[in-house]
Amino acid sequence: MSNNLFDLTGKVALITGAVHGLGMAMAKGLGNAGATIVVNNNSEDMLHEAVAEYKALGLKAFGYVFDVTDEKAVIENIAKIEKEVGVIDILVNNAGIIKRTPLAEMEVVDFNAVIQVDLVAPFIVSKHVVKGMIERRSGKIINICSMMSELGRDSVGAYAAAKGGLKMLTRNMATEWAKFNIQTNGIGPGYFATSQTAPIRVDGHPFNDFIIGRTPAGRWGDPSDLQGTAVFLSSKASDFVNGQVVYVDGGILATIGKPSNEI
């Protein structure tokens, strides 16, 4: 098998919300595989900082300020990207939010906000990017799902509802667009070491101990652990992979109990 299967040279990849964390890690992986990186964010300052970080690594990167839930803005900016950078070959629907509130206490407006960003926005962006992919009979779409696409957890009901819906949206996108040589798949990250999880990733913290004990790999994921899967699902290597969600979770979803320490 040739490494050319994973070469993204000449491809343009739009990764929504990739200004930090896991989105940025995946974008760096695509850039290192040869893709030109396009990222968006609502904050111009964060966007400029992220693009500067990509460029400092020698990656070709561009940034656009727009809201992924605003269909008019999405249409306008996709047109700008395709005019100024190139046609979009790879779309990673990464932008997302979470609101940790028990369902019985959650305001409808907050529930709707999570659904809009985490589920409706991937539909909006994909709907308008895929039109060019259909014309070219080629494209890769990756929806960033979650372990909450499969499992429930206290206080994240809106997020789990959105990510469960995103799993099924991924399958339906694959169903409708596979005939145009477009592959639509998902990535479901497990628990990763990011700036947001830093306060609870300390020895003795109950949640840190729980995650390490619950994960067969015995550790938190490093953001770089997502890069290989992102490159695979963006490349020719996955041309007959469609409608799947690849869980990059260290094995959590594979087991029901705490791994044994016995050999």
206 or 259, which is more confident: 206
Give tens-digit pLDDT for 84-131.
Answer: 999 999 999 999 999 999 999 999 999 999 999 999 999 999 999 999
Tell me the helix, strand and coil percentages in the chain, rounded to 5: 50, 15, 35
pTM: 0.96
Task: Give the separation between CA 138 and CA 40, rounded to whole angstroms.
Answer: 23
- Predicted pLDDT of residue 206: 94
Look up 159 and say whether it is catalytic: yes
Of 54, 64, 159, 191, which is the active-site residue? 159
Question: Environment class of residue 256 by beta-carbon count within 10 Å: exposed (0-12), middle (13-18) or buried (19+)?
Answer: exposed
Helices (H) and strands (E) in the chain, counts: 8, 7
Task: Give the separation between CA 162 and CA 11, rounded to whole angstroms.
Answer: 29
Q: Is CATH 3.40.50.720 what the domain over 8-192+223-254 is classified as, yes or no?
A: yes
For residue 79, the one-letter residue type is A
Parse the chain into domains and list their residue ranges. Answer: 8-192+223-254
Give tens-digit pLDDT for 133-184.
Answer: 999 999 999 999 999 999 999 999 999 999 999 999 999 999 999 999 999 9
Q: Which is it for strands 12-16 and 61-65: parallel, antiparallel or unpaired?
A: unpaired
